[in-house]
Amino acid sequence: MNPDLQLLQPYPFEKLNQLKAAVTPNQQLSHIALSVGEPKHPAPEFVQQAMINNIRRLENYPTTKGLPELNQAIADWAQRRFALNAIDTQQVIPVNGTREAIFAFTQAVIDRTQPQPLVVSPNPFYQIYEGAAYLAGAQPHFLPCLADNGFNPDFSAVPEDIWQRCQLLFLCSPGNPTGSVLSLAQLQQLIELADRYDFVLASDECYSEIYIDGHDAPIGLLEACARLGRDDYRRCVVFHSLSKRSNLPGLRSGFIAGDAQLLQPFLQYRTYHGCAMPLQSQLASIAAWGDEHHVQENRRQYTEKFRAVLDILKPVMDVEQSDASFYLWPKTPIDDETFAQRLFAEQHVTVLPGSYLSRTIDGVNPGANRIRIALVASIEECVDAAQRIRTFVQTL
């Protein structure tokens, strides 16, 4: 077996299941799960109908590059959403969700012949960044995301030798689990650093369409490139998904877009990887990328949940509205693991300990004494859960 598999750590939800298994939940209360970032809003009916209408396409092999109509729909959406000067279908590849694409892109990008290559990422982080780095023959290097820097990494504090060894820098904006958003100035600073040290910028933007009604939409990496007149998006790629934007996690549909000089060899890698999206999924995806009404309704529902839950929790917890995403990242009055376990036992509410999403570096775990609350359940369940959390906190 590949010895690098031994470097992989248990997935956060494996650890959470073990934590919960050690206690018995209060059976007088129904279970409310706010731990997994799986949207519970209904999938758009017109997307479901598109799948049904094209079910006979099961009889056809799909191509890795995707249908020209899908590539065009993605390019059109990206140009509208991020005010791009230009983007063509050679700068887009459809993928089976961001997890698959992030992992595969890392395998294709990392040059193992170079000494001690690094994949740099935020901490806390989406676990795929770390696993993809190890299995590509690189070492992960984590940048802490702390409250005093708006839960974003302090890129100016990164030593030069780290940038010199960096081959791939993962961004996550809006962030998982913090919900923080990088600014235009920060993105353009990173573009300059990528030019100076010759590394690839990969921005995971799958939460970009979930933000509070009335607030500015999060800026994207390609948008930052466009404002610099870099329409070739040199050294830059972004990942987007229909999972969160359109409540379609089971469709496994997203895209990677950006520098065609990076995407061309990545497409060749994918032809061997065997990951072409089924044709009926591609046709349903075209329908989803072409409609914004369901996305606006999605945001309205999340906005309602955020406001209701924060009204309940703010009097008893240190918690703030996140910039975007559907997560809250509150501090806990006791350690996060004990908090999550006791909350499950006493109030039958599941949340995710923040330390499970982070690594301890130089004695500091940025997720310690925090929990991730995913407001994915119905408004009624989210309000009920918030009231139970408040009751639990008041007993401490």
Return the residue matching tokens 């997560």: 327
pLDDT: is 81 or 58 the higher one? 81
Q: At what angle do helices 97-109 and 260-273 cross, to 10 degrees?
A: 110
Q: Which pLDDT tens digit goes with each residue over 238-266?
A: 999 999 999 999 999 999 999 999 999 99
For the cut 90, the answer to whether the pLDDT of residue 117 exceeds it is yes
What pLDDT is stored for residue 274 in this prediction? 86
- From the number of C-beta atoms within 10 Å of its C-beta (0-12, 13-18, 19+), residue 28 rates as exposed
Q: Could you give the percent of the chain with pLDDT greater than 70? A: 100
For the cut 90, the answer to whether the pLDDT of residue 206 exceeds it is yes
Confidence at 382, pLDDT banded by 50, 70, 90: very high
Average pLDDT over the chain reads 96
Q: How far is CA 237 from CA 40, 221, 222, 224, in A?
A: 29, 8, 8, 12
Mean pLDDT to the nearest integer, 384-388: 98
Q: Which pLDDT tens digit goes with each residue over 42-53?
A: 999 999 999 999
What pLDDT is stored for residue 214 in this prediction? 85
**Domain spanning 3-42+294-395: which CATH class is it, in words?**
alpha beta
DSSP letters, 127-150, are: HHHHHHHHHTT-EEEEEE--GGGT
Helix (H) or strand (E) holding 48: helix 45-53
User: Which fold would CATH assign to domain 57-291?
Assistant: Aspartate Aminotransferase; domain 2 (3.40.640)
Q: Which pLDDT tens digit goes with each residue over 273-289?
A: 889 999 999 999 999 99
Mean pLDDT to the nearest integer, 70-92: 97
What pLDDT is stored for residue 204 in this prediction? 98
Find the angle CA(87)-CA(171)-CA(153) to the nearest 5 degrees. 140
Mean pLDDT to the nearest integer, 113-136: 95
Bridge-based pairing of strands 118-123 and 92-95 is unpaired
Q: Which pLDDT tens digit goes with each residue over 131-145?
A: 999 999 999 999 999
Phi, psi values for residue 168, rounded to 5°: -145, 125
Please, what sign has the CA dihedral across residues 243, 244, 248, 250? positive
Q: In the chain, what are the domain boundaries?
A: 3-42+294-395, 57-291
